Amino acid sequence: MKCRHCQNKLEHVFLDLGFAPPSNDYLNKCDLKAPEKTFPLKLYVCDGCWLVQTEDYSQANELFSKDYAYFSSTSKSWLDHSARYVEKISTNLGLSKNSFVIEVASNDGYLLKNFVEAGVPCLGIEPTDSTADAAEKIGVPVLRKFFGVEVARELASSGKKADLICGNNVYAHVPDINDFTEGLKIALKEDGVINLEFPHLMRLIENNQFDTVYHEHFSYLSLSTVAEIFSSVGLRIFDVEEMPTHGGSLRIYGCHADDTRPTIKSVIDLLANEVRFGLKALNVYQSFQTKANKVKNDFLFFLIEQKRLGKSIAGYGAAAKGNTLMNYAGLKNDLIDFVCDAAPSKQNKYMPGSHLPILHPAELANHKPDWVVIFPWNIAKEVQEQENVAKWGGKFVVAVPELRIFN
């Protein structure tokens, strides 16, 4: 197996989580009687460009199918984050009715609807029919394809180069990161800007966020690696922001390599911080498995202890990260009774691997569990504000980055 960017031979395992089904491959009741496909969930680190990537087994069209169940608009905090971004970038770039914005992996229109409301012409590129349907219903135009060089050339030849190309949590999801990045360059106007947000590899390691590893994430990215990938196709990162979203993300600002914009000091500083942290040395990668095992084992011990005490346990958030944790820990309904989720697309289905039923959040009050595990720990505060489990004596617990109990 070779590095997806530099073609270096991969020899160093970063993390091995065994076998698991795709984390967003939710099951219907009839599926429970059929065999379930699983793939190795193993990460390698390239000691050439330091790209971290999954072992090659699953294909993008298997992971991002027409009935893809992840809808970005389910989270209010994410909607607020996206609205603030649109307001900020529109002001900074002076976007108007004469501009053109492309969002790659536009999902259900959660972000582009803000441009539509502001009268800024835009286009979403989204391969999953389920989310594209939702976007079109609220007036967001969608091109239903996987983005890359071929699509970018189609856009460029039809006069649809963009003043702004944005992509939130898509860069890690593309199997051919070189083709995707070259596509960004082709579809970008001469003085255009690229904005990508993605989880920061340094924060994943620092905060034991092994549950953010799943098959849909083909790559795990540092600023230095992304800067190298951009440079290889004639792009340059001129600014970067560190964001709190998803446990610690980067928002990069890219342009053509010969653009007159200067490279901001924040880029230089963060590149230096990554080196100090050890992202260009093998030690920090080779010690991560032990940390992941500790989080998983501590969580298992907690659940078993509570069950021995006769306590009932439910989960909140049928999130991909929850599926990674549960499947790595081998959890079934002997320890957790069910999972609640606010997304209608997931309700009345079953979690992949564990086969736990996914119920409407109202079922928490009906069942009154003693413990509620918040699997999407990045929105734990939002969940606590929405669900008052304390009124029947219940408590929240989060497993990552360490076991924490909330009254």
Tens digit of pLDDT for each residue in 200-231? 999 999 999 999 998 888 999 999 999 999 99
Q: Domains along the chain?
A: 146-285 (3.40.50.150), 290-406 (3.40.50.720)
Residue 402 has pLDDT above 50, yes or no: yes
- Mean pLDDT (the chain) is 93
**How far apart (Å, rounded) are the C-alpha atoms in residues 119 and 53?**
39
- Selected residue with higher pLDDT from 215 and 189: 189
Contact (CB, 8 A) for 164 and 195: yes
Angle, helices 177-187 vs 223-232, to 10°: value is: 60
DSSP per-residue letters across 171-224 = GGG-S-HHHHHHHHHHHEEEEEEEEEEEEBHHHHHHTT-GGG--TT--EEB-HH
**How far apart (Å, rounded) are the C-alpha atoms in residues 175 and 60?**
7
Residue 94 has pLDDT above 60, yes or no: yes
**How far apart (Å, rounded) are the C-alpha atoms in residues 93 and 99?**
10
Residue 261 has pLDDT above 90, yes or no: yes
Residue 246 has pLDDT above 90, yes or no: no
pLDDT bucket at 71, cuts 50 / 70 / 90: low
**Predicted TM-score of the model (pTM):** 0.89
Q: Is 179 exposed, middle or buried (0-12, 13-18, 19+ CB in 10 A)?
A: middle
Question: What pLDDT, on the 0 to 100 scale, is given for residue 299?
Answer: 97
**How far apart (Å, rounded) are the C-alpha atoms in residues 233 and 236?**
9
Cα four-point dihedral sign 102, 108, 110, 116: positive
**How far apart (Å, rounded) are the C-alpha atoms in residues 56 and 389?**
42
304-344 pLDDT tens trace: 999 999 999 999 999 899 999 999 999 999 999 999 999 89
pLDDT bucket at 73, cuts 50 / 70 / 90: low
| pLDDT more than 70, % of the chain | 95
Alpha helices in 94-162 (DSSP H): 112-117, 129-137, 149-157
pLDDT mean over 258-287: 97
116-172 pLDDT tens trace: 999 999 999 998 888 899 999 999 999 999 999 999 999 999 999 999 999 998 999
Whether a cis peptide bond, with omega within 30° of 0, leads into 199 is no
Q: Which of 55-64, 188-197, 352-361 has the weakest average pLDDT? A: 55-64
